[in-house]
Amino acid sequence: MQGKNKVVVLHPEGSQVVTLDLSIQLSEPASNGLPPSSSVTGTTAPSQPKRVSTVVVKSMAREEKEVASKTLDRIRLLFAPPRSSRNNSKRITKEQIFADCPTVRAFCRSSDLARVAEADSSLAAPGAKSAVLPSLSEAAPYTELNPVLPNSVFWKHAQVLCVNETNVRVLYNVPTITSLTSPGIPYVGLPLACADVSLLFASKERVCYEWCVLSEASASSRSPTHGDATFRVVGTAPTFTPTSDLQGKAMMLRVSLDPATGLWTEMRLPGVVRQLPPPVSRWQETVTDVNYPAFRVVTYNILYDDFCTSKNSKAKIYPFASDEVLDLENRKVRIVQELLAYHADLVCLQECGRDVFQGYFLPVMRACGYDGVYCNKSGSVREGCGFLFRESRFHLVESASVPLNFQTLSSMFPDLAGRVGACPELKEALSTVTTIGARVVLRETNSDKEVVVGNTHLFYHANACHVRILQAYMLLHWLHEASLIPPGGDAVASPSSSFADHAPPRRPVVMCGDFNCTHPTGAYRLLTTGQVEANHPSWDKGKLFWWGCARLLGYEAENLGELLDRDAVLPQTRVARKSPTQQQKSPAETAKPTTTKLADVPVEASNETQGQEESARREYGERVITKVFHEALYGPQMHLQDAYQRTDLSLPWTNFTLTFREVIDYIFFSEDSLEVLRTVPIPPEAELAENFALPNKKYPSDHIALVADLAFTT
């Protein structure tokens, strides 16, 4: 065996493909290297002309039922000498091509072959004799394998591949790294994590890592290989945090299951080590952690990548944002940088892509002391709700999710579902939505108190207020069920876990999310008061909504020039601000006017008019909804309070786009067992509107993260 010559054969159980990874360097032909060649016909392969060494690095995928001789011929062709330019036009026969190719045969140790001979006597090639392979460092005799065997059998027994005089070890179903996910662009101070190493026949605990800094010469090469790259190993842990002295350097990640074999899978990281984007002033509010009984909560709709990078979204919703601003590779780094700056103990994410959560957020945050849970929506889209929690403060007890749709309503409240089902448009909408409620139960490490944390992103359509009421109703009951401590349960309840002495003990509840409802709506009233009246104006939205009616979000292309003129007055700058006196009124009593536009689609507000109905029909087409659902609903007595309503009545918005600016994101908490100590003010409007709307270079989403310090009451 010479150098690093190897053939790795992979044939996992159930696979119909046999994969061969070849790394072969041919030596100069010699006269006496191998036993006489034998084949099915008993002919001897022609002698090979002397020529320079040839290196082949190749991966082959072959059908398992194909005869091995075809695979061996394909390997021979890899070493075919190039044809001269003057002979390119001449026809050449198959025999002539193979005459210039080396012989390729496979051998098995004779003693191993004898043990399986009874089961299959055709393993050995016809007329094959046992012989010692001279270049191997062992004296055991080998026998040539029969090339008419199918690949699935042939390569299972192959131990040495003989290419002319070069003997190459064959490794079958050895622990193998099949793919590697890039850790992303390296930044000073931000952990790099090898998120996804795909393995065969091995566990991730066996993976060895090398984080390397490339030399200037290697860095200038587009794709340095293992043999050519000059590098310095700077880390051997699964994660690595670049330091300032590495700024401007190119990096490479190498992973191996056994460094002694010399087999490494390498990946050059994109770009060079760079500085993180500069911080924003808001982060100065959270430079330190909080301690028990306090804990810091963040809720953040981080804007799903597919929702902002499609052609239509770029043209109509985010025409002001550059590709650099919308690029997920840049946004995900800024999101993690922002989350770490908040020093949060608990984070709830919405519009969180499954792949970016599992492949980036979770590995990087784990390197910073967090763990997490992801819950995908019930549809085919790969986005949902994510939880991150600091392991020094919370341990996961359980996690769950539930679709907030008609099927769940029928299961939880069959009588109510029957009445909702009498309204065809409402039933269809509830049957089609992909919204979920997600929850985790966490145990606080200092006190062993458990807290139920809910997370959701309710249905978005401006005229679907009635849908959101029913979704909020299901979510409240579902979270309340999880908050109840069963008799004999080991959860520690807060001493003031209920206002009534006869109420069962409950865990504290924190509920976060993008609820897509403003303060005057029925969903918000249900969430904060536990009830919504049958005559609440939000039910009347059922006259304006059916599944498939246009959303009409954004601006038409011909209006963008005027819209993005810096001297133009944008319609959203006329958003009505909420005064503290207005906020103290009941949502049912407050009719908050707004001039914010959803491309002339009526926004969520309680001042519905007949004109809106007629306008909607003109926009959407004629469709008369004859039966609209109206019913008083009463949620469980969870005593939920809006953290920002307790601390910042002037909060103007949490969603800041070209066409819509309102408060629709919330942090709710059960006031009988938790209290709010403070909330972090949102950034000034000047920062949010630097480039008309969000996202921009400072803020990676069109929503603003809400941050609240809560505390267990004692």
DSSP, res 281 = G
Contacts of 432 (CB under 8 A, 6+ apart): 405, 547
How many Å apart are CA 30 and CA 48, to the nearest integer?
Answer: 9
CA 88, 89, 92, 94 dihedral sign is positive
Would you give the distance in Å from CA 219 to the centre of its chain?
29
pLDDT confidence band for 54 (50 / 70 / 90): confident
pLDDT tens digits for 544-591? 999 988 655 555 544 544 444 433 333 333 333 343 333 334 333 333
Residue type present at position 504: P
pLDDT confidence of residue 403: 98
Instruction: Assess whether pLDDT exceeds 80 at residue 509.
Output: yes
Residue of higher predicted confidence among 133 and 336: 336
pLDDT tens digits for 227-273? 556 999 999 999 999 999 999 999 999 999 999 888 899 999 999 99
How many Å apart are CA 103 and CA 167, to the nearest integer?
Answer: 12
| CATH numeric code, 281-712 | 3.60.10.10
pLDDT confidence of residue 598: 36
Q: Which two tokens stand for residue 301?
A: 């709709």
pLDDT confidence band for 36 (50 / 70 / 90): very low
CA torsion, points 527, 673, 510, 399, in degrees to nearest 10? -120
How do the domains of the chain map onto residue ranges? 6-172, 176-268, 281-712
pLDDT confidence of residue 579: 38
Residue of higher predicted confidence among 555 and 127: 127
Contacts of 538 (CB under 8 A, 6+ apart): 465, 466, 468, 469, 521, 522, 523, 532, 604, 606
pLDDT above 70 covers a percentage of the chain that reads: 80
| Half-sphere exposure at residue 516, Cβ-oriented, CA atoms within 13 angstroms | 21
pLDDT confidence of residue 108: 95
pLDDT confidence of residue 558: 47
pLDDT above 90 covers a percentage of the chain that reads: 67
Phi and psi angles of residue 670, each rounded to the nearest 5 degrees, phi first: -80, 115
Contacts of 241 (CB under 8 A, 6+ apart): 189, 190, 191, 192, 367
pLDDT confidence of residue 222: 58
Instruction: Assess whether pLDDT exceeds 60 at residue 496.
Output: no
Burial of 591 (0-12, 13-18, 19+ CB in 10 A): middle
Would you give the distance in Å from CA 79 to the centre of its chain?
42
Tokens 């909607």 map to which residue? 616
Instruction: Assess whether pLDDT exceeds 90 at residue 135.
Output: no
Phi and psi angles of residue 272, each rounded to the nearest 5 degrees, phi first: -130, 165
| Mean pLDDT over the full length of the chain | 85
H/E stretch holding 325 reads helix 323-326
Please give the C-alpha separations between residue 39 and each of 118, 127, 147, in angstroms, as whole numbers. Answer: 21, 8, 8
How many Å apart are CA 540 and CA 629, to the nearest integer?
Answer: 8
pLDDT confidence of residue 492: 65
How many Å apart are CA 513 and CA 438, to the nearest integer?
Answer: 10
Residue type present at position 519: H
Burial of 274 (0-12, 13-18, 19+ CB in 10 A): middle
pLDDT confidence of residue 701: 98
Please, are residues 430 and 547 in contact by the beta-carbon 8 Å criterion? no
Listed residue (259, 204, 203) closest to 226, CA to CA: 259
pLDDT confidence of residue 548: 84
Would you give the distance in Å from CA 459 to the centre of its chain?
21
Mean pLDDT of 645-651: 95
How many Å apart are CA 515 and CA 525, to the nearest integer?
Answer: 12
How many Å apart are CA 101 and CA 404, to the nearest integer?
Answer: 65
Residue of higher predicted confidence among 511 and 87: 511
Phi and psi angles of residue 43, each rounded to the nearest 5 degrees, phi first: -80, 160
Contacts of 480 (CB under 8 A, 6+ apart): 506, 509, 635, 636, 638
pLDDT confidence of residue 137: 77
CA 596, 599, 604, 608 dihedral sign is positive
How many Å apart are CA 304 and CA 324, to the nearest integer?
Answer: 15
Residue type present at position 690: E
Please give the C-alpha separations between residue 137 and each of 34, 155, 286, in angstroms, as whole numbers. Answer: 14, 22, 65
pLDDT confidence of residue 7: 94
Q: Which of the residue ranges 46-50, 181-185, 277-281, 625-629 would you say has the lowest mean pLDDT?
A: 46-50
First to last CA, the chain: 73
pLDDT confidence of residue 542: 87
CATH class of 176-268: mainly beta
Whether cis (ω within 30° of 0) applies to the bond prior to 183 is no
Please, are residues 247 and 275 in contact by the beta-carbon 8 Å criterion? yes
Instruction: Assess whether pLDDT exceeds 50 at residue 134.
Output: yes
Angle, in degrees to the nearest 10, between helices 522-529 and 465-483? 20
Do the domains spanning 176-268 and 281-712 agree at the CATH topology level? Answer: no
Show the DSSP H helices in 538-696 as ranges. 560-563, 580-583, 610-620, 643-647, 685-688
pLDDT tens digits for 453-494? 999 999 999 999 999 999 999 999 999 999 999 876 666 665
Instruction: Assess whether pLDDT exceeds 90 at residue 536.
Output: yes
- Pairing, β 370-376 against β 294-301: unpaired
pLDDT confidence of residue 283: 98
Strand ranges (DSSP E) for 88-158? Answer: 104-109, 131-132, 141-144
pLDDT tens digits for 379-437? 899 999 999 999 999 999 999 999 999 999 999 999 999 999 999 999 999 999 999 99
Whether cis (ω within 30° of 0) applies to the bond prior to 695 is yes
Contacts of 360 (CB under 8 A, 6+ apart): 184, 193, 195, 332, 336
Which residue pairs from 318-322 have beta carbons closer than 8 angstroms and sit at least 24 positions apart in sequence? 318/658, 318/693, 318/695, 318/702, 319/555, 319/560, 319/563, 319/564, 319/658, 320/564, 320/658, 320/691, 320/692, 320/693, 321/691, 321/695, 321/696
Instruction: Assess whether pLDDT exceeds 60 at residue 523.
Output: yes
Q: Which of the residue ranges 148-157, 302-311, 568-577 would you say has the lowest mean pLDDT?
A: 568-577
pLDDT confidence of residue 549: 83
How many Å apart are CA 600 and CA 136, to the nearest integer?
Answer: 80
Mean pLDDT of 151-176: 93
Instruction: Assess whether pLDDT exceeds 80 at residue 111.
Output: yes
Residue of higher predicted confidence among 130 and 698: 698
Mean pLDDT of 346-371: 97
Instruction: Assess whether pLDDT exceeds 70 at residue 522.
Output: yes
How many Å apart are CA 631 and CA 522, to the nearest integer?
Answer: 11
Please, are residues 526 and 597 in contact by the beta-carbon 8 Å criterion? no
Which residue pairs from 179-183 have beta carbons closer than 8 angstroms and sit at least 24 positions apart in sequence? 180/253, 180/255, 180/265, 180/267, 181/359, 182/267, 182/269, 182/270, 183/253, 183/269
Mean pLDDT of 363-373: 97
Assign 67 to helix, strand or coil.
strand
Residue of higher predicted confidence among 122 and 652: 652
Q: Which of the residue ranges 251-260, 373-382, 603-612 would you say has the lowest mean pLDDT?
A: 603-612
